[in-house]
Structure 1
Amino acid sequence: MRKIVSNALLFATLSIILVGCGAGSPPSSYYILTSSNQQTSQVQPLNNISVGVGPVLVPGHLDRSQIVTSTGKNSITIHEYQRWGDSFKTQVEETLAENISILLQTPKVAIYPWERAQRPEYQVYVTIRRFEGKTGMNVTLDAIWQIVRVDTDNSLLTRHFVETFPVAENNISSYVQTQSNALGTLSQEIAKGLHSVVAQ
């Protein structure tokens, strides 16, 4: 009888601990990168070509569900309860593609991998080497991008983009918006690069 009572007491204690742990966990917040709809006047239309965006490579420590910020030269913070609403890599690809489509005023922008019927004339490869910073301070985007002619597989243009963007407020929402703005600036550079290769 005493053993039964002890087991029941142990079970009740464990239940209280588990409930307490669950009650103490804050709810997760989810964020997405967004395109920049106010860029159309900065680049001339180029709606007679088709463009493919990707593959886009991102550092492994950033390609996770949690948002990552830096705390020092060799240290990062993984925010357990501030998460991406979708794959970080997928969001970067989609944001770049949408920005380029807006800038060039063309719907003919596909995301890698594409169907055979969507095979573009030009393909943009992007390797992101760094894309983080500190909330309330700044975000650095360091990327190498390349434009390739798809039918010949010839590399037409390769550029290194690196720029630091100030974060307006000390919160994750402002941090994510700054990352979106950084991708917007990178998209402008890629759009200008497409103009350059088409003119050649």
Structure 2
Amino acid sequence: MRLSLPFAFVLTVATLAGCASPKAAFYTLSPQAPGESTGPAMPVTVLIGPVTVPELVDRPQIVVRAGANQVTIDEFARWADSLKSQIPRVMAADLAQELNSPRVSTYPMAGDPAAAWRVQIDVQRLDATLGDAVTVDASWSVSPPGKRAPLSGRSTVREPSAGAGYDALVAACSRAFATVSLDISASIRSAASP
């Protein structure tokens, strides 16, 4: 009886230790910190439409590039929400800051819906390399109110990572989308000017 009790204890401890696994860390994109507005307030309503992302990165895990033809998918470094939800949210906040307008949203706002500028974004590439950089390649179009022709553009942004971990990588990703927002806001300002 005495020999089996210590054996049972050791077996229990070994089983519990074997079941312990690393905890997942959850990350979210964030809008850039508010600063001084780059121009006068724009009395425009902007609606950010659905955003498309490549299927490769459209998953809960953060995908990082490991080589020219290889990626790694880390089960313990995860997005807190889908990129299709996060990207329009942070871009709406960045555009609101750039345009100095409180009427930028991912949902229709009160007022005349025909008066809204509608933005569509197609993220064609989102490459991230730990300790190096994030590259975002996005095509976008802006439909002005009325029957004016849509504006279109393409932003390719390479944002260096300020560190080796996932925190720095996600921060670089946020800055890259802020740059895309800056390109879109410049297009809206130019088209809205008399």
> In which range does the TM-score fall when normalised by the shorter chain?
0.7 to 0.9
Displacement after TM superposition at 1:150 (Å): 4.7
8 Å contact from structure 2 (residues 131, 161) kept in 1: yes
Q: Secondary structure at the match of 2:156?
A: strand
Q: Distance in 2 between matches of 1:47 and 1:109?
A: 11
Query: Deviation string for 1:110-151 (max 9, x for gaps)?
Result: 215x36757352101100011122111111110001111254
Change (3 A) 1:17 1:107: same
Q: Secondary structure at the match of 2:57?
A: coil
Q: Distance in 2 between matches of 1:89 and 1:74?
A: 24
Aligned length: 185
Change (3 A) 1:86 1:125: same
Query: Deviation string for 1:81-101 (max 9, x for gaps)?
Result: 011111121111100001001
Name the TM-score, length of structure 1 as normaliser.
Answer: 0.82
> What are structure 2's unaligned runs of at least 5 residues?
1-10
8 Å contact from structure 1 (residues 149, 155) kept in 2: yes
Q: Distance in 2 between matches of 1:39 and 1:183?
A: 16
Tell me which residue corresponds to 2:27: 31
Name the TM-score, length of structure 2 as normaliser.
Answer: 0.85
**Coordinate RMSD, CA, aligned:** 2.4
Q: Distance in 2 between matches of 1:177 and 1:85?
A: 14
Regions of 4+ moved over 2 Å: 15-22, 37-41, 114-120, 149-152
Displacement after TM superposition at 1:192 (Å): 0.5
Structural mapping, 1:112-131, within 5 Å: 112=107, 114=108, 119=113, 121-131=116-126
Q: Secondary structure at the match of 1:82?
A: strand
Displacement after TM superposition at 1:176 (Å): 0.3
